Amino acid sequence: NAGVTQTPKFQVLKTGQSMTLQCAQDMNHEYMSWYRQDPGMGLRLIHYSVGAGITDQGEVPNGYNVSRSTTEDFPLRLLSAAPSQTSVYFCASSYSRTGKGNTIYFGEGSWLTVV
């Protein structure tokens, strides 16, 4: 059981380039989300999805796109990278039912630097 898998782990981009951070989970979780973590800012929600075909914006969505074509995958796209998007990105997933508590599983993180 791999849990939540993120790729790549490290990436350097030039300003204006685009890229996709991949996220996959094998726990059949309905909910998936992307957070970014910056020094002194904590974890902030970028986008989330409550199921295949359904996505919505979180606290800091500007400059990012998402789609959810399958239950397993939830890629995060940077359309035109900016230095302000230098951060650590975490993908997370969870069940929908409260009977499962609120266990949200996080991936290992993707370190992105935009120069």
Residues contributing to the site for another protein (CB under 8 A):
4, 31, 33, 35, 40-45, 48, 50, 58, 90, 94, 96-98, 101-109
- Report the nearest approach of another protein to the CB of residue 112 (Å): 14
What region does 13 belong to: left with phi over 0, alpha with psi -120 to 50, or beta? beta
- Report the nearest approach of another protein to the CB of residue 3 (Å): 9
Q: Which is nearer to another protein, 20 or 103 (CB)?
A: 103
- Report the nearest approach of another protein to the CB of residue 20 (Å): 19
Q: Which three-class secondary structure string do you get for the chain?
A: CCCEEEECCEEEECCCCCEEEEEEECCCCCEEEEEEEECCCEEEEEEEEEECCEEEECCCCCCEEECCCCCCECCEEECCCCHHHCEEEEEEEECCCHHHCCCCEECCCEEEEEC
Q: Which is nearer to another protein, 17 or 67 (CB)?
A: 67
Q: Which is nearer to another protein, 67 or 105 (CB)?
A: 105
- Report the nearest approach of another protein to the CB of residue 15 (Å): 25
Q: Which is nearer to another protein, 9 or 18 (CB)?
A: 9
